[in-house]
A = this chain, B = another copy of it.
Amino acid sequence: MNNQSSPMEQDSASMIPKEFRNLTRRGVWTKETYGVCEGYVQANLAIIPNDCALEFLAFCLRNPQPCPVVDVTEPGSPHPVMMAPEADLRTDLPKYRIYRYGKLKEEVTDITPYWSDDLVSLLLGCSFTFEYLLRAADIPFRHTGAYLSGIRCVPAGRFSGPMVVSGWIFKGKQAVRAIKLTSRYPVAHGAPVHIGDPAAIGIRDIYHPEFWHPPWPITIEPDEVPVFWGCGITPQAVAMEVSLPLMITHAPAHMFITDRLAQELAVL
């Protein structure tokens, strides 16, 4: 992994969320948010029509490891009152994706033209927060990718499908620390769903992740163990299948930065 960063990226790491969101609001920052506003919870965004919002929310609540709900707005409100009441979800993410009937139609940096009083926004915990927690605790890890697992999500109405999981490699002792640490943060996918043999949860080939392959080679040493967490790709993949007339999400890696510190939201 590349530890070099430009001066602007160094600044963005120590920026406060309000300041950073002001950059995205004005269209100044349209890049990815990895490492931005270090320590603050980052979130996936899913905006859907009101008439399926309860169903989709129920799906997320039934599958809290891949889909940790950190906020839900009222229909038509762009303000996530729990996570950042002053933020505007229509402008404060660097990039969005517009889907119609499950098909990607556009990538935009402002969704105001698409907004209506009928839309409900969900914010879901994200693995950038997860990675931050591991780095802050000085737990060495390698990300191996995002996999289609054989674990079935608990369905809710029309929403159902397999769980997508993310794979991470640790030395045994560090795996224990990672499990203890992440268990304290349900907002960042919480405890892992599996440790060890990938086949036991229906992963076809750990070296060939279906959803995301890291830019580095995947290797596992004999003293290392793979650990799998629920992945935020799950709700998006599941929602896509339902083919909603409109769904708006963040563009991959272009997350919403909340006002809440991860530390603040630890359960213990």
Assembly CA distance A61 to B71 (angstroms): 8
Assembly CA distance A186 to B64 (angstroms): 13
A184-223 vs B, Cβ < 8 Å mask (1 yes, 0 no): 1010001100000000000000000000000000000000
Restricting to A137-160, which residues have a CB under 8 Å from any CB of B?
Answer: 154, 156-157
- Looking at the complex, which one of B58, B180, B183 makes contact with A74 (CB distance below 8 Å)? B58
Assembly CA distance A186 to B69 (angstroms): 14
Assembly CA distance A256 to B37 (angstroms): 43
Stretch at the interface among A48-56, A94-102, A243-251: A48-56
Is A62 in the interface zone, CB < 8 Å from B? yes
Known: A180-B268, A267-B267. A54 touches B50 (CB 8 A): yes
- Looking at the complex, which one of B61, B73, B184 makes contact with A69 (CB distance below 8 Å)? B61
A177 to chain B minimum Cβ distance, whole angstroms, is 13
Is A72 in the interface zone, CB < 8 Å from B? yes
Is A176 in the interface zone, CB < 8 Å from B? no
- Looking at the complex, which one of B62, B72, B120 makes contact with A82 (CB distance below 8 Å)? B62
Known: A54-B120, A184-B268, A268-B183. A72 touches B81 (CB 8 A): no
- Looking at the complex, which one of B55, B62, B268 makes contact with A81 (CB distance below 8 Å)? B62
- Looking at the complex, which one of B53, B71, B156, B190 makes contact with A54 (CB distance below 8 Å)? B53
Q: Is there an interface contact between A74 and B156, defined as CB atoms closer than 8 Å? A: yes
Determine the chain B residues whose CB is within 8 A of the CB of A261 once the complex forms: none
Restricting to A40-94, which residues have a CB under 8 Å from any CB of B?
Answer: 50, 53-55, 57-58, 61-62, 69, 71-75, 81-82
Identify 27 residue pairs between A and B in the complex whose beta-carbon atoms are under 8 Å apart, listed by A's number: A50-B54, A53-B54, A54-B54, A54-B57, A54-B75, A54-B120, A55-B74, A57-B57, A57-B72, A58-B72, A58-B73, A61-B69, A61-B71, A61-B72, A62-B81, A62-B82, A74-B157, A81-B154, A82-B154, A180-B268, A184-B267, A186-B186, A186-B267, A190-B267, A191-B267, A267-B268, A268-B268
